[in-house]
Amino acid sequence: METKEKEDLGVKIVEMIKTIFDPEIPVDIYELGLIYDVFVNEDRDVKILMTLTTPNCPVAETLPVEVEEKVKSIDEVKNAEVEITFDPAWTQDMMSEEAKLELGFL
């Protein structure tokens, strides 16, 4: 898999993740800063490192599954796995400027 192909796939993955919204906040999970990293290997296996706004998040069970399923739906993706971490803990500082503007923090 060429570097350009990996980059293009990475962009597709981010675009797909941006269609997933936190049910309590009208901003997608990417702009909220919940996605820490996206890894794509030579075999087109994807690993996503993400967090939740709190460990007791009401969608803790369903949100990672939704991310995994949506990323797997991309034709070029062979497999997808989501790993949840709380290190570092999520803070409002991790939100994009767009998200902060949307939520009235700017």
Q: Please say whether the structural domain 3-92 has been given the CATH code 3.40.50.720.
A: no
- pLDDT tens for each residue of 15-44: 999 999 988 888 999 999 999 999 999 999
Which pair of tokens denotes residue 19?
Answer: 């269609």
- Measured in degrees and rounded to the nearest 5, phi and psi for residue 43 equal -90, 10
pTM of the entire predicted model: 0.92
38: left (phi over 0), alpha (psi -120 to 50) or beta: beta
- Measured in degrees and rounded to the nearest 5, phi and psi for residue 79 equal -150, 155
Longest dimension (CA), the chain: 42
User: Directed axis angle between helix 3-17 and helix 63-72, to 10°?
Assistant: 140
The domain ranges of the chain are 3-92
Residue 57, pLDDT score: 82
- pLDDT tens for each residue of 42-86: 999 999 999 998 888 888 889 999 999 999 999 999 999 999 999
